[in-house]
Amino acid sequence: MAEEVILLDFWSSLFGIRARIALREKGVDFDMREEDLLSNKSPLLLETNPVHKKIPVLIHNGKSVCESLVIVQYINETWGRESPLLPSDPYQRARARARFWADYVDKIFPAGKTAMFSTGEAQKVVKKEYIEGLKVLEGELGDKAYFGGERFGYVDVSLILFYSWLYAVETLANCSIGDECPELVGWAKWCMQRKSVAKSLPDQHKVYDFMLKVRK
């Protein structure tokens, strides 16, 4: 029986990006369904994610999985075991390289978002918080090609979303992440060489135009 894989998504969604990349890394064909998040969420979204009512939702042969990091783990365990996104050692999987850092990304990201939508002193504070968080990640990356070493994996999938917002954050929050975190931006450009990433990240200028509209 052919598999049915549906991703409820929204083109500029940071979290949708994670699911898209993981599916493409594993070579899974999927039907990406664009949701109207502002005014008309589909009955399928409300039914499959009744708690948060948010995208992304992965529906695999009728069974739904919510929350982007949970979705990436599900994809990793379901398809392409010969090309894992997470290490096989439980300690490495939990703390040292993977889940801890993916969780850290989710903790610092709201500051980047707030920096685009605030002004004055408040903006200075969140901008500093965001850039400091990115610097911590840059330190963890060190001189490795990817967060897990030689292999593109879970933390890369979790963090690369920051690159699609780079231009918007730099312009709206008046800062240069490229100057502050050159190694991290270099890593992002390196990740963009992968088809799975290039195909899944929205254009930075399109995201900026969208953020301007949202800001208004």
Q: What are phi and psi of 5, to 5 degrees?
A: -125, 115
Residue number with CB closer to ligand GS8 (68 or 200) = 68
The four Cα atoms 153, 155, 161, 166 give a dihedral, to 10 degrees, of -120
Backbone phi, psi, residue 58, to 5°: -100, 130
* Residue position matching structure tokens 């982007």: 68
> How far apart are CB 145 and ligand GS8 at their closest, in Å?
25
Are the CB atoms for 47 and 35 separated by under 8 Å? Answer: no
Closer residue to ligand GS8 (CB): 15 or 154: 15
Residues that bind ligand GS8 (CB under 6 A): 10, 13-15, 37, 53-56, 67-69
CB of 173 to ligand GS8, least distance (A): 17
Q: How far is the CB of 2 from ligand GS8 (least distance, A)?
A: 27
Q: Point out the residue whose Cβ comes nearest to ligand GS8.
A: 54
Q: What is the DSSP letter of 174?
A: T
CB of 8 to ligand GS8, least distance (A): 9
Nearer to ligand GS8, 167 or 190 (CB): 167
3-class state of residue 139 by DSSP: helix
Instruction: Indicate the residue among 10 and 147 with the shorter CB distance to ligand GS8.
Output: 10
Query: What's the CA gap between 66 and 173, in Å, rounded?
Result: 31
